[in-house]
Structure 1
Amino acid sequence: MKRENLILLADAYKYAHHKFYYPGTTQIYSYLESRGGMFNETVFFGLQYLLKEYLQGPAFTQQDLDEADSFLQQVFGRDDVFDKSKFQYILDKYNGQLPVKIKAVAEGTAVPTGNALMTIENTDPECYWLTNFLETLLMQVWYPCTVATLSSQIRKVVTQYYNETATEGAEKGIDFVLNDFGFRGVSSVESAKIGGAAHLLSFSGSDNLAGSGMAINYYDAEKVYGLSVPATEHSICTLLGREGELEIFKHVLRTFPTGTIACVSDSFNIFKACEEYWGTGLRDEILNRKGTLVIRPDSGDPIMTLLKIFEILFSKFGFTVNAKGYKVLPPQIRVIQGDGVNYTEIKNMYKALKDYGISAENLVLGMGGALLQKVDRDTQKFALKCSSAVINGKEVAVEKNPTEMDAQGNITPSFKKSKGGRLKLVKINGTFKTVNEQEHLELADELHTVFENGELVNTITFEQVKANTNHKA
């Protein structure tokens, strides 16, 4: 399959920048940061994918350059914007390998917002324009970082409620609490791959096969990390109509008489399904199974629906009260909420369960669009900015420091203030801090070279990324 034409993977306005940079500019040095946002830390992930997919080796060919030249002449309607010779230079001198150096924090690391996560600079003075030309593509690392961060934060919520309400030892199941239902809800197969792999840093439950494939193909994962179970959908459970629903449920149980299975049960009346079908007609069969039936509601207010379902299931299947004082269903029966699930609702659901004396271990979750699609670059406020340049042989610190007007008409400093100078990321008393390259010379730089002159350096495996994320139940 033909690789994307890298020369065309930039915002159109960038093709004039080789002329706009001040005469005598020979180096542009820029950094990536998450400036703040929904969470106060960001998990860095996904850069290796972008480097392998788009930048490593010869990044473009003569055919790509000729194609881009014709295309961009039409874009601008003039021949003095795109300068073919700039790319021809890279093709002739470096065989299309990009003369840039990229440093980054180890993937999987959670870094407090407001810190440098990555730096990029040109290694050939003729290619000063190349550093920020690559911004458009490299900025897309915001997506796997944001999904990885969201998934990580949800795991923290789940872990909190397990610690407060679940039976000792039940925390082993946290890996499978949040399941990726997002493949169908994303904008592309590539999004499914990247976001799906990001989720797998914190959880193992996933119906998104593309995520596991990405981890294997781009991070040399040793195995498939996204695991799933047999589960129904409404096209199965409605085949015999309202009157035949019980018969369908029997068929589901007997098709997989052992192991975990999930069955959507709200096709007609979720409460009747729980009380009369699962809780009466099939109760003994469920309790005698070597495995777990997971009942899935798929409509209604999540909290009110769950509380009613648990009330019914406790009355029909019984329960134990664990050492922390919370009700636990028999191990053969659980519930999965896959509708209306997002970060806020997850916190609300588990709080409601706790308030009603229900252990968190009774509930697992499926999350689709809110996990992989309802995020954007501003969720964690990502930006890539120039912080240093060399002009006529002199190194200069570069920064922006805008003022802005708030809704009350007050002029205030902007959160968009950028950093100046060449940077490094260090740990001071165990906390990440971005400092000038010449400060804290005694401390190691946590930004390590990962790409130089077309070659990947210090590649990382998916196992190492997961270890860096380091979730403990």
Structure 2
Amino acid sequence: MRTNPILNTDSYKASHFLQYPEGVTTVYSYIEARGPKDHDLLFFGLQMFIKSYLTTPITAEDIDEAEEIFTAHGLPFHREGWAYILEKHNGYMPIAINALKEGTVTKTSVPLALIYNTDPKCAWLTSYLETAILRGVWYPTTVATNSFLIKQQIKAALEKSSDDVTGQLPFKLHDFGARGASSQETAQIGGLAHLVNFQGTDTVSALPMARQYYGGDDPHFMAGFSIPAAEHSTMTSWGRAGEKDAYANMLEKFPQGLVAVVSDSYDLFNALENIWGDELKEQVLARDGTLVVRPDSGDPVEIVCQTLEVLGDKFGYSTNSKGFKVLDPHVRVIQGDGIYLNSLKDILDAMIEKGWAVDNVAFGMGGGLLQAVSRDSYQFAMKACAIERNGDIQPIYKEPKTDKKKTSKRGIQGVFEEQGQLVAKTILPEQIADSENMLKRVYWLEQGVPQITHLSFTEVRQQAEETS
């Protein structure tokens, strides 16, 4: 369903064209995550927003619809301004966006993007677009950041306990979040943000997003992978008395490769000890692949360790060079219930304490990955920092006496590397294009046509690896 770009804003924005002082020709704004202080942040998603929302021009019908709605809504409507954009710029937004390279890992409080109007008659436009642009940045960046932080946790645990850190890491966190997301678009955007860090997902709708918005040379590029897996409906359809048959059917229908089977429909430990570990043991060991057992209820820390102990007792294990136990390669575990940033660390710590290599377990994350986030998770904001008025650049800022943490940056913002860290600096307009400024031009108009500095998804992943 097409969204009218003029209506993709907050109500009060419609009146702001009347509120600027005379002589203002340019408004500069920046986007940042204000906190927590010195927290890592993985920037991602702006290119999706630009291609989705800025490359579609407004139409006369959009202007008519917006005028009718805003007027009935109780607000003034800047018909003259929108008609000018339609006539002068073919309906495209005359703004420029400069941003960090997507995939960059930096600290909070570093500007991620600078936005400003490029037509002096459209100074009101910069802040009008705040609602849409900020939403297009905060959500994917927050999901990508949380996924990145989990990746660092798992990587540290693998480095302690595994002989195969590089091979294990890309598939250690699987996205189970599609059904818990607020909309398909949320699942698409958040699901792709997760795939910057990992390659496992069940959020199918995220996969074409990588091709559509971050496509590279390979039109068949695949950003994420999954495996055949059971759910409770398929297992319980056999009835309680048919639990063994349900599991045996999975082994028969998927004789090779990885296959995941949820095993707690009735009694997890009966399934582990008697069905998998006894009645079907020979079939499991005869497979050309790996059975991934999924416990799906109970305290995650206890259940994961208990599951490993039973599988180790039934199927055996080896000890790697670091002294940690690794299950027979025919069996592994995936924990997909109750996984959050803090709970995952508790599971990893408990596994290592009990001598189990992290190789044995993968994790699935649902609502905690794609939905349990907000703009306040990292205190995202887009703030005006400078105006050009009567030919002069004037810094502007807010500094609330009642909350100094909300003090905004003053002056046009640039980002520069100093001693291996990115830092914000106030710059002059001519320094926006400085080769040392890390905020590079990613969107602008050229002879009325939108221009985009395109990044492939592979380049985004490489950037995340290089700057982490």
Question: TM-score normalised to the size of structure 2?
Answer: 0.95
SS state of the match for residue 31, structure 2?
Answer: strand
Alignment of 1:6-405 (within 5 A): 6-37=5-36, 40-58=39-57, 60-76=58-74, 81-140=76-135, 141-166=137-162, 168-221=163-216, 222=218, 223-404=221-402
Query: 444, 447, 450: which one pairs with 2:436?
Result: 444
Count of matched residue pairs: 459
- Equivalent-residue separation in structure 1 for 2:84 and 2:430 (angstroms): 38
Question: Which whole-Å CA distance do the structure 1 matches of 2:8 and 2:226 have between them?
Answer: 36
Distance 2:239 2:271 in 1: 13
- My pick for the range that moved more, 19-28 or 227-236, is 19-28
Alignment deviations for residues 344-382 of structure 1 (CA, whole Å, 9 cap, x no partner):
111110000011111111110110100000011111111
Task: Please say if residues 326 and 357 of structure 1, whose CA atoms lie closer than 8 Å, have aligned partners that are also in contact.
Answer: yes
Question: What secondary structure does 1:378 align onto?
Answer: helix
SS at structure 2 position matched to 1:348: helix
Separation of aligned partners in 2, 1:322 and 1:169: 10
Q: CA deviation at 1:130?
A: 0.1
Between 1:240-249 and 1:31-40, the stretch displaced more is: 31-40
Of 106-115 and 261-270, deviating more is: 106-115
Contact 2:104/2:467 (<8 A) preserved: no
Does 383-392 or 256-265 show the bigger shift?
Answer: 383-392
Unaligned ranges ≥5, structure 2: none
Runs of at least 5 residues in structure 1 that lack an aligned partner in the other structure:
405-412
1:30-71 Cα offsets, whole Å, 9 max, x none, are 00001113981211111111111111252x100111111111
Q: Which amino acid is the alignment partner of residue 342 of structure 1?
A: Y
Letter in 1 for 2:193: A
Match of 2:423 in 1: 433
- Please name the residue that 2:4 is paired with: 5
Q: Per-residue deviation at 1:83?
A: 2.0
Residue deviations 1:6-29, cap 9 Å, x none?
Answer: 000010001110111122221110
Matching residue's letter, 1:218: Y
Name the aligned partner's letter for residue 32 of structure 1: I
Equivalent-residue separation in structure 2 for 1:302 and 1:39 (angstroms)? 30
Closer/same/farther in 2, CA of residues 440 and 305 from structure 1, 3 Å limit: farther
Deviation at 1:3, TM superposition (A): 3.0
4+ residue runs of structure 1 moved beyond 6 angstroms?
439-443
Structure 1 range deviating more: 156-165 or 89-98: 89-98
Counterpart CA distance in 2 for 1:274 and 1:38 is 45
Distance (Å, rounded) in 2 between the aligned partners of 1:439 and 1:321: 61
Matched residue SS, 1:136? helix
In the alignment, the residues of structure 1 paired with residue 36 and residue 297 of structure 2 have an alpha-carbon distance, to the nearest angstrom, of: 30
Is the CA contact (8 Å cut-off) linking 1:38 and 1:380 kept in structure 2?
no
Identity %: 39
The alignment partner of 1:260 has SS state of strand
Alignment partners' CA distance in 2, 1:471 and 1:102:
24
- Matched residues in 1 for 2:466 and 2:315: separation? 33
Contact 1:57 / 1:455 at 8 angstroms: preserved in 2?
no
What TM-score results when the alignment is normalised by the length of structure 1? Answer: 0.94
SS at 1:370 equivalent: helix
Cα distance in 2, alignment partners of residues 259 and 468 from structure 1: 32
Letter in 2 for 1:345: S
Other structure's SS at 1:432 match: strand
